[in-house]
A and B are shown apart, each in its own frame.
Chain A
């Protein structure tokens, strides 16, 4: 398996533009996570899907952020409009579940480095 695939790897955009980040999880994994990492705030969980359904989006900063998972092999994170403070590395991770429902180890993608000018 190629692992978790994220695109683009780097994105530079101007304030006010729409940004779409993409993620392809590992085949067979039924949990998908979007994280944001900055020096100031560390690693933050934005949203968590299980079987394509959003379970917890309490980490989504504000209405400018939205995430979808239309099927088991694809997810998007959209920022509209983007702002300079959204500059960060965005990671997607996928995992399976252990017996009893516990989340198993997460496999992380390489991340998308977003710069909003």
Chain B
């Protein structure tokens, strides 16, 4: 069975400092991994995805994530936080499970950016 653990429910940073949102997954096969962002009162939007190509994935708005199979991790990073990055972030794994391919969402990490 697949699962996703987002290690922090809240992360607080100052504007201009680096961002690290942690995600660990478990999967029996070769998964696809995604990060989505949700701004207040909005739907979810894809930030980036890993689908067995390059392990370092670049996304929108300066975000990137590295797939580390040995650590079963897919942490999201950004060198310098902006006020507009304040949002909820979801890590998602999609893998074969019982013959189906159902995405599994983490609980989410709320990113707070201080001026």
Question: Which A residues have a C-beta under 8 Å from some C-beta of B?
Answer: 4, 33, 42-43, 45, 48, 50, 55-56, 91, 93, 97-98, 101-111
- B24-57 Cβ-contact flags toward A at 8 Å (1 or 0): 0000000110101000001111100101000000
B43→A91 contact, CB < 8 A: yes
Residue from B34, B42, B101, B105 within 8 A of A105 (CB atoms): B34
- Chain A contact residues: over half helix, strand or loop, or mixed? strand
B102 at the A interface (CB under 8 A): yes
Interface size class of B (residues with CB under 8 A): 20 to 34
Chain A nearest Cβ from B107, distance in angstroms: 5
Residue from A91, A102, A108 within 8 A of B94 (CB atoms): A102
B103→A108 contact, CB < 8 A: no
B95 at the A interface (CB under 8 A): yes
B90 at the A interface (CB under 8 A): yes
B75 at the A interface (CB under 8 A): no
A55→B95 contact, CB < 8 A: no
Residue from B32, B42, B102, B105 within 8 A of A98 (CB atoms): B32
Chain B residues near A97: list those with CB within 8 A: 101
Chain A residues near B49: list those with CB within 8 A: 104-105
Given A45-B105, A110-B43, 11 more pairs with CB closer than 8 A: A33-B103, A42-B108, A43-B108, A55-B102, A102-B32, A102-B94, A102-B96, A103-B94, A103-B103, A106-B34, A108-B44
